Amino acid sequence: MTAFLERLGLELPIVQAGMGGGLSGHRLAAAVSEAGGLGTIGFVGADGLREEIRAARRHTTRPIAANLLLPFARRAHWQAASTADVVVTFWGRPERRNDSLWIHQCGSVAEAVEARDAGADAVIAQGHEAGGHVRGELPALELLAAVRATVAADYPVLSAGNVADARDVGERLSAGADAVVCGTRFLLSDESAAHPRYKEALLGAEETIVTGLFGLGWPAPHRVVPNAATERWLGDSGEEPAWLRGFQRVTAPALSRTPVGLQFRLAATQRPGLPIFGPAAATAGGPDNLVDAGPLYAGECVARIREIRPAGKLVSYLSEEL
């Protein structure tokens, strides 16, 4: 047990990634924390974030984290996140905005150093294999080694990307990680709020692709499982049309200011044949159209996952060789 894990109040070095848009809500986060890891509420509207944290507190007394996407986080989000034990930030200039324990997710050594110098209590080194929005270009183990060699030996570094089983966890800890961060493995849990057909698609997936297709309002690369939208709009090169990338860049400043709730309502109008795709993912109880016309976020490790399990049992499974 490292000093950082003791500071967090964790029993096990397992952190559940904060998958936004409702994918990781209070049920998933509370189940992971109650099992000894750190559960994370994904990014949603400020009121929803505050309520999800409250709901998680009703299911566990253990630490809970809140994830903030910096391009979309407003003052109200920071205020809501301050009610969690840990704030995890991603994709933007790292800056401390409240007194919570703060972890910043990075995709490069330079970004990790910037976050450390800005006062982050720890960094997550996200490998290129990770699902969802991908910040870095290096494989997870290579990035972990580079960050570990650059920051102080006692500075906490977590590792994300391509973690599916206990062997992966052991490998990362042996390579110097204080903990691992798992997204795809927990996306395929009973408590995950992913749409049932989204889960079904991931269970049968053999490959993922990195694209910018679903970048309306946030033109950033993201790793997904292919669906009807990618088959319709990605050419032989695997790239989205150049005109679409241009449209996304021009409209991003205005669309990033659109309230999160309105963005989700607009997502209900997406269709595979209409190339205006935002980053909202398909959730249980949400519009069915997003299974075919939205991003099916998943990391490369999805090809090694063939079952859905309770989140608490996944925490035990991931840590069984420790």
Decide which of 294 and 98 is more confident: 294
Alpha helices in the chain (DSSP H): 3-8, 26-34, 46-59, 75-81, 109-117, 140-150, 166-174, 184-187, 196-203, 228-233, 242-255, 260-267, 290-293, 311-318
Q: Per DSSP, what are the bridge partners of residue 239?
A: none
Superfamily of the domain at 3-192+307-318: Aldolase class I (3.20.20.70)
Is pLDDT at 95 greater than 80 in this prediction?
A: yes
User: pLDDT digit string (tens) for 251-277?
Assistant: 877 777 777 667 777 777 888 888 888
What does the mean pLDDT of the chain come to? 93
User: pLDDT digit string (tens) for 186-221?
Assistant: 999 999 999 999 999 999 999 999 999 999 888 899
At 224 the pLDDT is: 97
- The first and second tokens of residue 288, run together, are 């069915």
Report if pTM > 0.85: yes
Cα gap 115→287, rounded to integer Å: 37
Handedness of CA 270, 231, 280, 118 (dihedral sign): negative
Q: Give the mean pLDDT of 139-150.
A: 98
Asked if residue 245 lies in contact with residue 211, where contact means CB atoms within 8 angstroms, the answer is: no
For residue 1, name the pLDDT band (cuts at 50, 70, 90): low
What is the residue extent of each domain of the chain? 3-192+307-318, 209-297
Decide which of 159 and 216 is more confident: 159
Q: What are phi and psi of 187, to 5 degrees?
A: -60, -35
Give the least confident one: 9-13, 167-171, 238-242: 238-242
Q: How far is residue 113 from each of residues 122, 148, 271, measured CA to CA in Å?
A: 10, 11, 41
